[in-house]
Chain A
Amino acid sequence: MISKVRSHVTQNEPLLFELSSPGKKAYQLPELDVPPVNASKALGAEHVRREIEGFPEVSEVEAIRHFTRLSTWNYAIDLGLYPLGSCTMKYNPRLNEAVARIDGLAWAHPYQPEALSQGAMEIMGALERALLEITGMDAVTLQPAAGAHGELTGILLVRAYLESLGNPRKKILIPDSAHGTNPATAAIAGYAVENIKSNDRGMIDLELLARVVDEDVAALMITNPNTLGVFEEQIARIAEIVHSKGAQVYMDGANMNALVGITRPGDFGMDVMHLNLHKTFSTPHGGGGPGSGPVAVKKHLEPFLPLPRLTAGESGQRFDYDRPRAIGRVKAFYGNFGVIVRALAYIMAHGGEGLRNATMDAVLNANYIRKKLEDYYELPHRAPSMHECVFSDARQAKQGVRTMDIAKRLIDYGFHPYTVSFPLIVHGALMIEPTETESKRELDLFVEALIAIAKEVEEDPETVLKAPHGTRTGRVDEVTAARKPVLRWKPAD
């Protein structure tokens, strides 16, 4: 009855520290070709440690088996659909991994002479140009390390710009559907946060917006499509309202996978935005990073972009440090170059038409899931879906089954759950983003699983409430973990 998975033996594995035995090694260094130095003499005995207490001592075979066994306890895109809403868990092409490991790129030191870094700088320039074409913006920095870091950079740019006009202003408007990083970012940039309520279609309420935008507002942070997967149809009007009071519009580009090749933020009035290379541009999520969060801006914000700026000079590319109005640095060096390489490889593989086709397939997949499931799950907002769709657990809640329970049961059917209980404006949300890199077969299996669960909820809710049943690890006690934190291994007394 469950089509995608069957039960499978997995191996137990202790922690590294429990595997250790004194004297075991997984390394061999070359013989030292210079005279040895007495550490106590060179550094002072008080600076030299006796040993690294508790550090692992294992053999090479045990090391590789350890990590391989642990790896089998993870779900991953390589195993199937990973429909986390707003995370854009698309296939990570292996070509990107290969090119990022080419010696001349992977082993380039950030301080090697610019004349010996022209290839790396050309790659950065090529990605900058592609991102400008995709977003319709005027300038871009590749320095930020992830989406939230890009948000901070973007809001600092807004602040520096408004300051240059004489008043940095006091607050940032954020819709109640926004990612948590938006308000956290505004706070770090020294702004007060004012939440604005979405209308009953899950969109920004224009009348409300017009009422709250005033000369104290520095910016509106908006996600488009928003976290319901809905395109803000009045986006141009929203930008007008915000601009009419001299404020800026920041666009969180987390959902850019719905827009590439179809519409451009620069063409609908956005002043500044970030992109997530690890979402839209396929670089691997790696269990939680690394990411990369380039920030693209309109011309008026360009003088404030972080140092240094890549510029094409007569004798090749160089970094310009002479930028007196820049907000400074947001990170050492030039950005997550290894991620930049991967994103460019992805863009080159698709080309302009291919990127547009990818967007269309992403939207098709989300709409297909929506259509197939709307008879079984409550769809709280009926506006057309872009790249993701959001259901609620309203029907299942009548049987005492909540979105988290359905998510856990989905694991038994061989899928990673959707994003649970977000956005906050939908009570008991199931936020599903399939991405374009899923086959019809995989989508059909997923739909079949969620329909089967909806039936289980009616006939046998206990099975769902106690899920997952088929995993090597049962439901994890997160309450105890937080109440009595154990955050490192310690030897038994």
Chain B
Amino acid sequence: LRYLPKSDSERREMLEACGVSALDDLFSHLPPDVRLNRPLALADGQSEYEISAYFRAQADQNANGYASFLGAGVYNHYRPVLVDAVVSRGEFLTSYTPYQAEISQGTLTTIFEFQTMICQLTGMEVANASMYCGSTAVPEAGMMAARITGRNRLLVARSLHPEYREVLRTYARYQGMVIEEFGYAAGHGTVDLDDLDRRLDDKTAAVVLQSPNFFGIVENLDAAAELAHRKGALLIDVFTEAVSLGLLEPPRQADIIAGEMQSFAISPSYGGPYAGVIATREKYIRQMPGRLAGETKDSHGNRAYCLTLSTREQHIRREKATSNICTNQALIALMATVFMTVYGKQGLRELAEQNLAKAHYLASRLPVKFTGPFFNEFVAAFPGKSPETINGMLLDKKIIGGLSLGRYYPELKDCMVLCATEMNTREQMDVFAEVLAQ
């Protein structure tokens, strides 16, 4: 019971002050028939040593010492040591939502810096202080578009991450929202603009696409934006690989951006916690979900920050709020903020260029499926072979290959999506190619 800081004599003193003789008396008002009359059937409390050993043993049952070419929404990037040095500080780790601005300026200032850097990266005018993750930022962006346009139909690219599309369908079902998908060009791998154009109508609230898309291909946002705007719909651009923004033109054509920050020093951690973000134009702020930090002054006239525009939020507006989100991903967003600071203007570009070079090197040795321009992911096709067989051969060489696409795209059942980052060496990629040559 090392987390309970009281001696027995202190407990007795406190019980006496409360006018009761035993701890159990504090619960005497609970109806006896709802009381648990036995101890919880859980193992006895364990020492720090035993608990560490348990988790190390479990970690040993996971992949260890493998090279990996998995991406598909979760990326393997180097995590600068400064990140943990900062987020391990108790003042950041063990504080909560900065409602009391006078003693939360540290968190509020870093949120303001995060919002600013997201705007600089995306070309948007405002960004919120985080959503749970990219996959939940997308339905929040969709609902936001519906509020802005007063329309209820979303046209969603099939090349948007399949799990994001599933989450979107779950959220949309009871919002009276209609989700319809449009295809991708079989050769190029970008969205099929003709299909999009055919499906767009004056009930469409937004077109939702991802760039680089799930196949790694960089989309032509100009064309998609033009089609959407012509019908009065908004364009929602989704990104899963934030490092791409170090090199790619900011998606200014979009009206709302919903992104995943995992690439920025957030360890893959078997799927979470990550941090999502929504960025948009200033005129849509009041329809945006999530926390926002704003600049103001304190009573001494000094610059200060506070949470603001909270009349959008559930604790004020209740059932009329823009979202039910409360706790978000502040500490994870701080990881991304430290990452962006460490790499900075030059570093993020250099990092992106290395990713581009690595992926193109790997692609040069493999059968690439689509002809569209790609960043650090691409689809490889192995006609007549199953991706599972290839991945099995790679595992023998301590390499985790790509994600098989058959589960999500029956027409791509002989394909896998592969990712190469600064963490993959030329040697690993050469081994990959040799395995294929066998």
Q: Judging by beta carbons under 8 Å apart, are B132 and A101 in contact?
A: no
Q: Judging by beta carbons under 8 Å apart, are A15 and B113 in contact?
A: yes
Q: Which residues of B333-385 have CB atoms within 8 Å of chain A's CB atoms?
A: 334, 338, 340-351, 353-354, 356-358, 360-361, 373, 375
CA distance A331 to B42 in the complex (A): 29
Question: Whole-angstrom distance from the CB of A277 to the nearest CB of chain B?
Answer: 11
- Other than the given A236-B31, A236-B33, 5 more pairs (CB < 8 A) read A47-B249, A416-B100, A482-B309, A485-B294, A487-B295
Choice from B66, B95, B96, B247 contacting A49 with Cβ under 8 Å: B247
Q: At the interface with chain B, which of A188-196, A240-248, A391-399? A: A188-196
CA distance A111 to B214 in the complex (A): 14
Assuming the contacts A72-B91, A332-B134, asked whether A288 and B98 have C-beta atoms less than 8 A apart, the reply is: yes
Query: Counting CB contacts under 8 A, is A99 at the interface?
Result: yes
14 contacts between A and B (CB under 8 A): A20-B344, A34-B361, A35-B357, A73-B104, A119-B58, A183-B319, A188-B324, A284-B331, A287-B92, A335-B271, A345-B55, A364-B11, A364-B15, A468-B102
User: Which residue of A is nearest B246, CB measured?
Assistant: A52
Question: Whole-angstrom distance from the CB of A269 to the nearest CB of chain B?
Answer: 9
Residues in chain A near residue B189, CB distance under 8 A: none
Q: Judging by beta carbons under 8 Å apart, are B17 and A186 in contact?
A: no
CA distance A262 to B25 in the complex (A): 12
Choice from B17, B41, B354 contacting A368 with Cβ under 8 Å: B17
Residues in chain B near residue A78, CB distance under 8 A: 90-91, 93-94
CA distance A199 to B58 in the complex (A): 50
Residues in chain B near residue A452, CB distance under 8 A: none
Question: Whole-angstrom distance from the CB of A60 to the nearest CB of chain B?
Answer: 7
User: Which residue of B is nearest A78, CB measured?
Assistant: B90
Q: Judging by beta carbons under 8 Å apart, are A348 and B31 in contact?
A: no
Q: Judging by beta carbons under 8 Å apart, are A367 and B26 in contact?
A: yes
Assuming the contacts A27-B80, A338-B273, A487-B294, asked whether A263 and B62 have C-beta atoms less than 8 A apart, the reply is: no
Q: Judging by beta carbons under 8 Å apart, are B91 and A79 in contact?
A: yes
CA distance A57 to B342 in the complex (A): 8
Q: Judging by beta carbons under 8 Å apart, are A72 and B106 in contact?
A: yes
CA distance A183 to B320 in the complex (A): 8
Query: Counting CB contacts under 8 A, is B157 at the interface?
Result: no
CA distance A350 to B314 in the complex (A): 34
Residues in chain A near residue B313, CB distance under 8 A: 180
Q: Judging by beta carbons under 8 Å apart, are B170 and A475 in contact?
A: no
Choice from B73, B109, B129, B273 contacting A290 with Cβ under 8 Å: B273
Query: Counting CB contacts under 8 A, is B183 at the interface?
Result: no
Q: Judging by beta carbons under 8 Å apart, are B174 and A34 in contact?
A: no
Query: Counting CB contacts under 8 A, is B267 at the interface?
Result: yes
Q: At the interface with chain A, which of B160-168, B191-199, B202-210, B225-233? A: B160-168
Choice from A35, A55, A70, A76 contacting B94 with Cβ under 8 Å: A76
Q: Judging by beta carbons under 8 Å apart, are A332 and B73 in contact?
A: yes
Query: Counting CB contacts under 8 A, is B148 at the interface?
Result: no
Q: Judging by beta carbons under 8 Å apart, are B395 and A113 in contact?
A: yes
Q: Which residues of B255-300 have CB atoms within 8 Å of chain A's CB atoms?
A: 267-273, 275, 285, 291-300
Q: Judging by beta carbons under 8 Å apart, are A288 and B96 in contact?
A: yes
Interface-centre pick from B164, B272, B422 (highest chain A CB count, 10 A): B272
Q: Which residues of A269-312 have CB atoms within 8 Å of chain B's CB atoms?
A: 276, 278, 282, 284-292, 306-307
CA distance A441 to B150 in the complex (A): 57
Question: Whole-angstrom distance from the CB of B57 to the nearest CB of chain A?
Answer: 7
Assuming the contacts A268-B34, A350-B1, A440-B13, asked whether A110 and B342 have C-beta atoms less than 8 A apart, the reply is: no
Query: Counting CB contacts under 8 A, is A51 at the interface?
Result: yes
Residues in chain B near residue A100, CB distance under 8 A: 269
Question: Whole-angstrom distance from the CB of B109 to the nearest CB of chain A?
Answer: 5
Q: Judging by beta carbons under 8 Å apart, are B341 and A352 in contact?
A: no
Choice from A52, A70, A329, A407 contacting B166 with Cβ under 8 Å: A329
Assuming the contacts A331-B272, A334-B270, asked whether A284 and B93 have C-beta atoms less than 8 A apart, the reply is: yes
Query: Counting CB contacts under 8 A, is B390 at the interface?
Result: no
Residues in chain A near residue B395, CB distance under 8 A: 113, 116
Residues in chain A near residue B218, CB distance under 8 A: 43-44, 47
Q: Judging by beta carbons under 8 Å apart, are B36 and A262 in contact?
A: yes
User: Which residue of B is nearest A234, CB measured?
Assistant: B31
Residues in chain B near residue A477, CB distance under 8 A: 296-299, 304
Choice from A51, A180, A383, A466 contacting B318 with Cβ under 8 Å: A180
CA distance A237 to B308 in the complex (A): 42
Q: Judging by beta carbons under 8 Å apart, are A188 and B268 in contact?
A: no
Interface-centre pick from B62, B110, B318 (highest chain A CB count, 10 A): B62
Residues in chain B near residue A440, CB distance under 8 A: 6, 10, 13-14
Query: Counting CB contacts under 8 A, is B215 at the interface?
Result: no
User: Which residue of A is nearest B285, CB measured?
Assistant: A485
Assuming the contacts A151-B324, A267-B36, asked whether A111 and B72 have C-beta atoms less than 8 A apart, the reply is: yes
Q: Which residues of B98-118 have CB atoms within 8 Å of chain A's CB atoms?
A: 98-107, 109-110, 112-113, 115-117
A-B interface contact total, Cβ < 8 Å: 678
CA distance A2 to B102 in the complex (A): 19
Assuming the contacts A130-B42, A481-B296, A485-B285, asked whether A475 and B29 have C-beta atoms less than 8 A apart, the reply is: no
Residues in chain A near residue B30, CB distance under 8 A: 231, 233, 262-263
User: Which residue of B is nearest A482, CB measured?
Assistant: B308
Q: Judging by beta carbons under 8 Å apart, are A371 and B345 in contact?
A: no
Query: Counting CB contacts under 8 A, is B23 at the interface?
Result: yes
CA distance A147 to B246 in the complex (A): 34
Question: Whole-angstrom distance from the CB of B422 to the nearest CB of chain A?
Answer: 7
Q: Which residues of A10-61 have CB atoms within 8 Å of chain B's CB atoms?
A: 13, 15-17, 20, 23-27, 29-30, 32-37, 39, 42-44, 46-49, 51-58, 60
Residues in chain A near residue B178, CB distance under 8 A: none
Assuming the contacts A15-B112, A354-B45, A473-B298, asked whether A75 and B100 have C-beta atoms less than 8 A apart, the reply is: yes
Query: Counting CB contacts under 8 A, is B431 at the interface?
Result: no
Residues in chain A near residue B275, CB distance under 8 A: 290
Residues in chain B near residue A476, CB distance under 8 A: 101-102, 296-299, 304-306
Q: Judging by beta carbons under 8 Å apart, are A336 and B109 in contact?
A: no
Question: Whole-angstrom distance from the CB of A493 to the nearest CB of chain B?
Answer: 16
Q: Judging by beta carbons under 8 Å apart, are A87 and B96 in contact?
A: yes
Query: Counting CB contacts under 8 A, is B19 at the interface?
Result: yes
Query: Counting CB contacts under 8 A, is A400 at the interface?
Result: no
Query: Counting CB contacts under 8 A, is A198 at the interface?
Result: no
Q: Write the A71-83 contact mask toward B (1 if CB under 8 angstroms, else 0).
A: 1111111110010
Q: Judging by beta carbons under 8 Å apart, are A348 and B43 in contact?
A: yes
Question: Whole-angstrom distance from the CB of B230 to the nearest CB of chain A?
Answer: 21
User: Which residue of A is nearest B169, CB measured?
Assistant: A328
Q: Judging by beta carbons under 8 Å apart, are A349 and B45 in contact?
A: yes
Residues in chain A near residue B95, CB distance under 8 A: 74-77, 82, 285-287
Query: Counting CB contacts under 8 A, is B248 at the interface?
Result: yes
Query: Counting CB contacts under 8 A, is B126 at the interface?
Result: yes
Assuming the contacts A286-B331, A468-B102, A477-B296, asked whether A37 and B96 have C-beta atoms less than 8 A apart, the reply is: no
CA distance A134 to B68 in the complex (A): 38
Choice from B13, B270, B291 contacting A110 with Cβ under 8 Å: B270
CA distance A42 to B39 in the complex (A): 64
Query: Counting CB contacts under 8 A, is A451 at the interface?
Result: no
Residues in chain B near residue A116, CB distance under 8 A: 62-63, 66, 395, 400
Question: Whole-angstrom distance from the CB of B80 to the nearest CB of chain A?
Answer: 7
Query: Counting CB contacts under 8 A, is B188 at the interface?
Result: no
Q: Write the B24-56 contact mask toward A (1 if CB under 8 angstroms, else 0).
A: 101101110111100111111110101110111
Residues in chain A near residue B163, CB distance under 8 A: 329, 332-333
Assuming the contacts A286-B332, A437-B5, A473-B102, asked whether A52 and B41 have C-beta atoms less than 8 A apart, the reply is: no
Query: Counting CB contacts under 8 A, is B130 at the interface?
Result: yes
Residues in chain A near residue B126, CB distance under 8 A: 487-488
Question: Whole-angstrom distance from the CB of B284 to the nearest CB of chain A?
Answer: 12
Query: Counting CB contacts under 8 A, is A148 at the interface?
Result: yes
Assuming the contacts A51-B349, A99-B52, asked whether A411 and B59 have C-beta atoms less than 8 A apart, the reply is: no
CA distance A344 to B6 in the complex (A): 24
CA distance A420 to B10 in the complex (A): 29
